[in-house]
């Protein structure tokens, strides 16, 4: 059985990691889809699709899930009504989708696809919005992501990028 887990992963954090460990208990293979893959270099979407792919593969190695996972980027499209067909045309086949995102749940349900929700893990702190805010204010953020992801973000200058693109020309 193959499960699909979709997210923006801006950045990939320990909440995502906890969800993947849970999914791995239920399915043999996991397709991890990086949504909004075309986005990068904005305060809401600082990392490119490729950078997020590297983050996720590094984090999967930490929990021994790299062998059973496929990571693939997916660009957004302007028409939600045909998004599931778009997704299906771009990713390997799957049997069940894991998501708590209300729009994803609605669109998958409309298409007759089985959806499973996962428990929320310390959502207040394990949240992309919280982590990006901490990073842009140069406060402690690294403990909220897998160690390999923190190392990767430092290696690519991700912290400096987020701080720079969060400024305006009046700063
Ligand atoms: P996300 O990275 O915020 O979250 C991914 C998943 O992890 C979600 O199900 C979320 O609920 C879960 N999660 C996050 N923190 C968690 C925690 N602490 N504990 C447990 N679970 C946690 O990404 P997202 O916003 O859900 O990504 C959906 C993607 O689908 C977006 O890129 C969106 O653009 C895309 N999408 C595109 C279209 C379109 O192009 N028309 C339509 C629908 C969705």
Q: Domain locations in the chain? A: 2-165
Assign 78 a pLDDT band (cuts: 50, 70, 90): very high
pLDDT in tens, 123-152: 889 999 999 999 999 999 999 999 999 999
Q: Which tokens go with 26?
A: 């239920």
Mind listing the pLDDT tens digit for each residue in 18-38?
Answer: 999 999 999 999 999 999 999
Ligand 1 pocket, CB under 6 A: 6-9, 15-16, 19, 35-36, 76-77, 80, 83, 99-101, 103-104, 107, 118, 120-123, 126-128
Please indicate, yes or no, whether the overall pTM of this predicted structure exceeds 0.85: yes
**Residues 6 or more apart from 82 whose CB is under 8 A from it?**
none
The mean pLDDT of the chain is 96
> Distance between CA 53 and CA 32 in Å, rounded?
9
CATH number assigned to the domain covering 2-165: 3.40.50.620
Distance 164 CA to ligand 1 centre (A): 25
- Cα 25 to its chain centre, rounded Å, is 19
């Amino acid at each position: 059985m193959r499960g699909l887990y979709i997210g923006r992963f801006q950045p990939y954090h320990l909440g995502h990691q906890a969800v993947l460990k849970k999914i791995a208990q239920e399915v043999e293979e996991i397709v991890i889809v990086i949504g909004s893959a075309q986005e990068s270099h904005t305060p809401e979407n600082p990392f490119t699709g490729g950078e997020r792919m590297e983050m996720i593969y590094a984090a999967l190695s930490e929990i021994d899930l790299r062998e059973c996972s496929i990571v693939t980027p997916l660009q957004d499209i302007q028409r939600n009504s045909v998004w599931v067909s778009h997704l299906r045309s771009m990713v390997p086949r799957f049997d069940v989708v894991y998501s708590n995102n209300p729009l994803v749940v609605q669109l998958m349900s409309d298409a007759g696809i089985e959806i499973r929700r996962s428990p929320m893990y310390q959502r207040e702190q394990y949240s992309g919005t919280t982590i990006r805010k901490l990073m842009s204010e140069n406060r402690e953020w690294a403990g909220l992501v897998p160690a390999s992801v923190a190392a990767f973000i430092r290696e690519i200058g991700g912290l400096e990028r987020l701080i720079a693109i969060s400024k305006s020309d009046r700063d």
